Amino acid sequence: MKVLIVYPGFVMTKISENALSGNGVKHGKMDEAILKGIDPNEYAIEILNAIMSEKKEMIIAGPKEKFGIFLHKYFPNLFASFIARTKVT
């Protein structure tokens, strides 16, 4: 069995529009980070190419997301503190 681990960045989907708030009300709008995310078709092509190349892992993300991966790997407590203050839907 082969496995590909993908570290995703933001993908331009309707996930933030369809997200529910803490009280169950639909968010109903696109978050800026998602709006600036990678096109889902481009994302799928990147993943398929990685699978065909038999890569073990890949990062499809912008600089901020890549920095987050670095923080999580080497400074998990700092990463947790950072994420707790980040505004995300």
pTM assigned to the model: 0.72
Rounded Cα distance, 54 and 1, in Å:
11
Nearest to residue 25, comparing CAs of 13, 15, 17?
17
Q: Which residues contact 2 (CB under 8 A, 6 or more apart)?
A: 54
Give, in order, the Cα–Cα distances in Å from 41 to each of 37, 46, 62, 83, 89: 12, 9, 17, 28, 23
Mean pLDDT, the chain, integer: 90
| Among the ranges given (5-9, 52-56, 83-87), the one the predictor scored with the smallest mean pLDDT | 83-87
pLDDT per residue as tens digits for the range 24-62: 888 888 888 888 899 999 999 999 999 999 999 999 998
